């Protein structure tokens, strides 16, 4: 049965527009969410589930489908399709993904022929960078090909889709994988169920994809090559292809994986430096071509953006705020030690510092410590030469941040439960004496975090809020300019992250696979703990794809933002070290997403000359009624 237009799913959260297409076992639909934004919903075909031949495999089909959704959800990257939600509609598992207006690279090849080298390399580098995140998660995509790479309409941006046959891998270990494959793009290892697995499998697929983009031809399948049929070098089709790129493709498609580059990054390095950024191609009429399966997306008309948070009226501050924030409370002083490390992770400096703070009584013997953060000027974003950086971290720009208070730690499960009356966390110390006391709360959406701030504000009479993204990075860096506030790298003795993946010259470390109690690792120079790792932290801002046009006053940046997403900062226990850098930004989670590696930290503005009598600019809604207690003057950027 095909869902018709108007069918409502998941408590009316999604409304079907039309069917997009179907494959062997799956079917996809175009739908709208509650905000009127287009989404793609993928589910299993009922014909398959009702087929007697598939009856014994129903359970595995559904589990594989949910596994694909989980794999996608864990691989957050600008060039990987984003999963927004997963739910069941009756017996049908459903996955909600972003809708990519555009077409796949097969259509690009079939309508315009082989791509210019510079354009092809741009897309391949984007997908290669995305694959590094996939591999850091311990996954292989295993189905790289032009039809699984979508182009965003009007932008030179490629997006990797379809993780249906992705599988976990452990380098150097014999593993059993399904023999699912696409001839021409799959290496010999995918033709056998048992064997060693490594990144070199996706190196072959990525090199084969570049082969097709530059020649318009399907590469000779590995099975035929093993029977002495040669792979024709790309330069034989187009002599204009550079020697460097031709050689990189042939090395990446070596039949013996031992002769291939062993990682995607190693193979990308063979391609040389990026030189030209092509102009986005116009989309001509669709043509047919032999040898490639096509996916055609008909782009619907653009929908108006509905901003649920009204823009503030300008606020004039007659005199500059003080260097230090003031909340009218006696401040205490605490002492702490922070450290600096070299590229190999060895501690080369220890400093004993002090910071001021106050203690907020939350009731039931639970307290919240708020650290005084001095005002100052810093450079936001990462420099171009920083290892592991993304373009979304640029351009670097100077920001003036006014003094404020920030939570010494991320909000704990105990604190959250006192204010909200529940604990949604996955990692609970149920069997310990200090159950939930010091573990960070996780599995909280942006809306949950904002509601916590609102309830806390109502209970205390102070203006608690999420930090702006600029405030967060300023507080994280604490006067430093290196990738981490500890210096050139981090180790698992200093941060809770996935220690299998190293940064700079640091050694491999522990992968704890869970959160840890707050405050057990050294703080930064402001006296803030766990700004790197443990859990990602929500910021107040709507999402922006880069810092072009960003305000310089440190406040929340509303203009031209995506109100459905907000930045996550700091990395987590689950993530590789490069995703824990001070400058790293994660904008791939919708505000209503919940994840077991996402929490938040609260902030407080202490400016005495911003009166609480400033009119409230956020309207009460059913979902966010408590927001009326917040003073938006502390949130909004006045540009």
Residue 424 has pLDDT above 80, yes or no: yes
At residue 414, the pLDDT reads 95
Does residue 326 form part of some domain? no
Q: Are residues 106 and 77 in the same domain?
A: no
Beta-carbon contacts of 72 under 8 Å, excluding residues fewer than 6 positions away, are 80, 81, 82, 83, 95, 97, 163
Strand duo 92-98 + 83-89: pairing:
antiparallel
Residue ending a domain, among 249, 270, 291, is 270
**Which range (303-307, 418-422, 446-450, 631-635) has the least confidence?**
303-307
Residue 322 has pLDDT above 50, yes or no: no
For residue 92, the domain's CATH number is: 3.30.200.20
CB 148 within 8 A of CB 162: yes
Q: Are residues 163 and 188 in the same domain?
A: yes
Does residue 321 form part of some domain? no
CB 581 within 8 A of CB 382: yes
Q: Are residues 252 and 395 in the same domain?
A: no
Does residue 302 form part of some domain? no
Distances from the Cα of 459 to the Cαs of 155, 177, 407, 633, in angstroms? 47, 55, 17, 19
Residue 98: what are its φ and ψ, rounded to 5°? -60, 150
- Encode pLDDT of 127-181 as tens digits: 999 998 888 877 888 889 999 999 998 889 999 987 766 665 545 544 444 545 6
β-sheet bridge partners, residue 452: none
CB 464 within 8 A of CB 362: no
Cα–Cα dist 213/237, whole Å: 12
Enclosing H/E stretch for 248: helix 243-252
Does residue 66 form part of some domain? yes
Does residue 49 form part of some domain? yes
The CA R_g of the chain, rounded to the nearest whole Å, is 26
The structural domain count of the chain equals 3
Q: Are residues 443 and 475 in the same domain?
A: yes
Q: Are residues 447 and 580 in the same domain?
A: yes
At residue 101, the pLDDT reads 87
What range does the domain containing 368 cover? 332-634
Higher per-residue pLDDT: 306 or 453: 453
Does residue 75 form part of some domain? yes
β-sheet bridge partners, residue 603: 406, 465
- What DSSP line would sit under 397-458, residue for residue? EEEEE--EEEESSPPBHHHHHHHHS----SS--TTSTTTTSSSBP-S--HHHHHHHHHHHHH
At residue 250, the pLDDT reads 96
My answer on whether omega of the bond before 395 falls inside 30° of 0, hence cis, is yes
Q: Are residues 240 and 122 in the same domain?
A: yes
Distances from the Cα of 158 to the Cαs of 101, 105, 139, 427, 571, in angstroms? 11, 9, 20, 36, 24
pLDDT band, very low/low/confident/very high, at 481 (cuts 50, 70, 90) = very high
For residue 214, the domain's CATH number is: 1.10.510.10
- Encode pLDDT of 529-559 as tens digits: 999 999 999 999 999 999 999 999 999 998 8
CB 47 within 8 A of CB 96: no
Enclosing H/E stretch for 376: strand 376-380
- Encode pLDDT of 329-344 as tens digits: 679 999 999 999 999 9
At residue 325, the pLDDT reads 60
Residue 522 has pLDDT above 90, yes or no: yes
Q: Are residues 364 and 266 in the same domain?
A: no
Beta-carbon contacts of 619 under 8 Å, excluding residues fewer than 6 positions away, are 310, 628
CB 100 within 8 A of CB 82: no
Q: Which range among 323-332, 334-343, 424-433 has the greatest average pLDDT? A: 334-343
- Encode pLDDT of 80-108 as tens digits: 888 888 888 888 888 898 898 888 899 88
Cα–Cα dist 148/143, whole Å: 8
pLDDT band, very low/low/confident/very high, at 280 (cuts 50, 70, 90) = very low
Residue ending a domain, among 50, 73, 98, is 98
Residue 129, CA atoms < 13 Å, CB-side half-sphere: 21
Residue ending a domain, among 270, 303, 323, is 270
Does residue 222 form part of some domain? yes
Q: Are residues 449 and 403 in the same domain?
A: yes
Residue 223 has pLDDT above 80, yes or no: yes
Q: Are residues 340 and 226 in the same domain?
A: no
For residue 384, the domain's CATH number is: 3.90.1580.10
With H, G, I as helix, E, B as strand and everything else as coil, classify residue 88.
strand
The CB density around residue 154, as the number of other CB atoms within 10 Å, is 13
* Helices and strands of the chain, counted as H and E runs: 11, 25
Higher per-residue pLDDT: 195 or 344: 344
CB 537 within 8 A of CB 442: no
Q: Are residues 13 and 125 in the same domain?
A: no
Cα–Cα dist 466/368, whole Å: 15
Q: Are residues 36 and 120 in the same domain?
A: no
Cα–Cα dist 275/427, whole Å: 46
Give ∠ CA 210-239-287 in degrees, rounded to 5. Answer: 55
Q: Are residues 220 and 92 in the same domain?
A: no
- Encode pLDDT of 33-65 as tens digits: 988 999 999 888 887 777 787 777 778 778 878
3-state helix, strand, coil in the chain (%, to 5): 25, 20, 55
Higher per-residue pLDDT: 258 or 282: 258
Does residue 207 form part of some domain? yes
């Amino acid at each position: 049965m095909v869902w018709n237009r108007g069918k409502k799913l998941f408590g009316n959260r999604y409304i079907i527009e039309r069917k997009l297409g179907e494959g062997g076992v799956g079917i996809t639909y175009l739908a709208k969410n509650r905000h009127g934004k287009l989404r793609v919903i993928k589910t299993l075909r009922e014909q398959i589930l009702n087929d007697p031949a598939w009856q014994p495999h129903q359970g595995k089909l559904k589990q594989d489908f949910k596994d694909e959704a989980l794999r996608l959800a864990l691989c957050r990257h600008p060039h990987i399709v984003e999963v927004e939600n997963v739910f069941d509609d009756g017996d049908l598992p459903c996955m909600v993904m972003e809708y990519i207006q555009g077409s796949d690279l097969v259509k690009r090849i079939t309508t315009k022929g082989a791509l210019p080298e510079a354009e092809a390399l741009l897309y391949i580098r984007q997908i290669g960078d995305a694959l590094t995140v996939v591999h850091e998660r311990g996954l292989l995509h295993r189905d790289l090909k032009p039809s699984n790479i979508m182009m965003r309409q009007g932008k030179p941006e490629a997006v990797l889709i379809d993780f249906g046959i992705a599988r976990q891998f452990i380098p150097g270990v014999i593993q059993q994988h399904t023999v699912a494959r696409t001839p021409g793009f799959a290496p010999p290892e995918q033709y056998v169920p048992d064997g060693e697995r490594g990144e070199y499998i996706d190196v072959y697929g990525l090199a084969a994809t570049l082969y097709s983009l530059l020649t318009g031809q399907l590469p000779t399948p590995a099975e035929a090559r093993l029977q002495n049929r040669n792979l024709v070098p790309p330069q034989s089709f187009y002599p204009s292809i550079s020697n460097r790129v031709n050689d990189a493709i042939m090395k990446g498609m070596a039949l013996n994986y031992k002769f291939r580059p062993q990682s995607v990054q190693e193979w990308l390095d063979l391609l040389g430096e990026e030189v030209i950024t092509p102009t986005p191609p116009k989309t001509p009429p669709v043509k047919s071509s032999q040898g490639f399966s096509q996916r055609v997306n008909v782009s619907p008309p653009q929908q108006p953006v509905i901003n649920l948070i009204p823009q503030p009226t300008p606020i004039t501050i007659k005199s500059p705020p003080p260097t230090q924030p003031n909340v009218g409370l006696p401040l205490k002083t605490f002492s702490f030690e922070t450290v600096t490390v070299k590229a190999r992770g060895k501690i080369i400096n220890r400093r004993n510092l002090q910071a001021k703070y106050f203690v907020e009584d939350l009731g039931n013997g639970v307290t919240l410590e708020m650290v005084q953060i001095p005002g100052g000027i810093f450079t936001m974003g990462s420099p171009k030469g920083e290892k592991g950086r993304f373009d979304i971290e640029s351009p670097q720009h100077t920001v003036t941040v006014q003094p404020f208070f920030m939570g010494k730690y991320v909000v704990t499960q105990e604190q959250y439960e006192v204010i909200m009356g529940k604990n949604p966390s996955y990692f609970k110390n149920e069997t310990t004496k200090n159950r939930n006391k010091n573990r960070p709360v996780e599995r909280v959406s942006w809306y949950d975090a904002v509601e916590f701030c609102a309830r806390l504000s109502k209970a205390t009479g102070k203006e608690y809020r999420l930090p702006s993204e600029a405030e967060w990075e300023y507080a994280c860096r604490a006067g430093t300019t290196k990738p981490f506030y500890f210096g050139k790298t981090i180790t698992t003795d200093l941060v809770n992250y996935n220690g299998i993946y190293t940064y700079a010259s640091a050694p491999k470390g522990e992968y704890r696979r869970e959160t840890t109690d707050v405050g057990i690792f050294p703080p930064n120079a402001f006296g803030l703990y766990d700004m790197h790792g443990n859990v990602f932290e929500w910021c107040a801002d709507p999402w922006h794809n880069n810092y072009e046009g960003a305000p310089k006053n440190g406040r929340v940046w509303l203009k031209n933002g995506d109100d459905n997403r907000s930045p996550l900062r700091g990395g987590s226990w689950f993530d590789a070290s490069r995703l824990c850098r001070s400058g790293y930004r994660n904008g791939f989670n919708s505000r209503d997403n919940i994840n077991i590696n996402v929490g938040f930290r609260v902030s407080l503005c202490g400016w005495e000359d911003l009166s609480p009598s400033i009119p409230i600019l956020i309207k009460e809604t059913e979902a966010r009624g408590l927001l009326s207690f917040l003073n938006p003057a502390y949130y909004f950027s006045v540009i």
